Amino acid sequence: MTTALRQRMLQDLQLAGLSERTQEAYLRAVRQLADHFHTPPDRLSEQQVRDYFLHLKNDRKFVSASLGIAYSGIKFFYSHTTPRDWPTLQRLRVRRDKRLPDVLSVEEVRRLIEAVRTHHNRAFFWTVYSLGLRLGEGLHLQVGDIDSARMLVHVPCGKGAKDRYVPLPTSTLKVLREYWATHRHPVWLFPALGRDGQQTATADRPMERSSVQGALRRVVQELKFQKAISIHSLRHSYATHLLEAGVNLRLIQQYLGHSSLQTTMVYLHLTTVSQEQAVAKIEALMEP
């Protein structure tokens, strides 16, 4: 894809209000399409695009999530940047895998946090878990987002550009204060470390996504967890643990920033506590 064409698509993505991560994913999808045929994407035919989709599905065996990103990015390009009235684009459908995410138990979360050697990663993982944050939300937390008077954390413009407030546990406030005291950055709670780890106080950006993701992978491997665990698993675990503790599902929806209760209801399938309570109540109710 030429620089001019890429820039035009980037502008279209920005005008559509898509997040930076979505922009990157869509641009990558179109670049990979062009690389496959060694041809600029605005010169490809509908049949070539059709063949490419079949190649991803049948030859490369893309899972639903990856296939959906490729479909969406390429469809965006041919709908906005270089509009094409192609029936193939209208017929694209991805069957979603109905797989439940892996979650950690409370004990496993604590084992994981305790196994982290570096102060910044240990503080970050605990913060993401105890506040139910997405990776990007945790990285971009700022000093001004912490309201210690009301014991709330302001999570600005999360997914879907919706601000929200989440409860701030006393333990998390203590962790954040202790870690902030090591760098005293005026803006970021988790500033970039720099090559030698000494530039945190003057960093112009938060820690890198790849850095914390890699740190979590190493700890999971060391602990020999058999579950598929990522940073997002800490958020799933938070929601599941709240539900098991009896927190109302509507409140969990609010804390997670879900626009739909249907999205939050997946956590009903990740816990057996409510089922066990229901069985116990039914037994008591039906006693002769």
- C-alpha to C-alpha distance for 156 and 99, rounded to whole angstroms: 29
The pLDDT value recorded for residue 152 is: 93
CA–chain centroid gap for 119, Å, is 22
Is a pLDDT exceeding 80 seen at residue 264? no
In contact, 135 and 90? CB cutoff 8 Å:
no
128 class by beta-carbon count within 10 Å (0-12 exposed, 13-18 middle, 19+ buried):
buried
Mean pLDDT of 67-76: 92
Where do you find CATH 1.10.443.10 in the chain? 106-277
Q: Among residues of the chain, what percentage have pLDDT more than 70?
A: 86
CATH architecture of 106-277: Orthogonal Bundle (1.10)
- Interhelix angle 231-244/119-131, nearest 10 degrees: 40
- The fourth-level CATH superfamily of domain 3-91 is Tyrosine recombinase, N-terminal domain (1.10.150.130)
Where do you find CATH 1.10.150.130 in the chain? 3-91
User: Looking up tokens 């109905």, which residue turns up?
Assistant: 98
Q: CA angle, corner 254, sides to 252 and 258, nearest 5?
A: 95
- Outline where the chain has alpha helix (H): 3-15, 20-37, 46-54, 64-76, 87-91, 106-115, 119-131, 135-139, 170-180, 209-223, 231-244, 249-256, 261-264, 273-285
Is a pLDDT exceeding 70 seen at residue 229? yes
274-to-249, 268, 288 alpha-carbon distances in Å: 12, 8, 24
Task: Report the predicted TM-score, pTM, of the whole model to 2 decimal places.
Answer: 0.67
- Interhelix angle 64-76/3-15, nearest 10 degrees: 100
Contacts of 27 (CB under 8 A, 6+ apart): 6, 9, 10, 13, 73
Is a pLDDT exceeding 80 seen at residue 267? no
The pLDDT value recorded for residue 277 is: 57
Map residue 265 onto helix, strand or coil: helix
Beta bridge partners of 153: 146, 166
For residue range 125-173, what is the model confidence (pLDDT) as tens digits? 999 999 999 999 999 999 999 999 999 999 986 555 578 999 999 999 9
Is a pLDDT exceeding 70 seen at residue 282? no
The pLDDT value recorded for residue 283 is: 61
| pLDDT band at 201; cut points 50, 70, 90 | confident
**Of the candidates 242, 15, 259, the residue with the CA atom closest to the CA atom of residue 158:** 259
Q: Which residues are catalytic?
A: 134, 159, 232, 235, 258, 267
Comparison of pLDDT for 269 and 6, the residue scoring more: 6
Comparison of pLDDT for 63 and 3, the residue scoring more: 3
What phi, psi does 69 have (nearest 5°)?
Answer: -65, -45
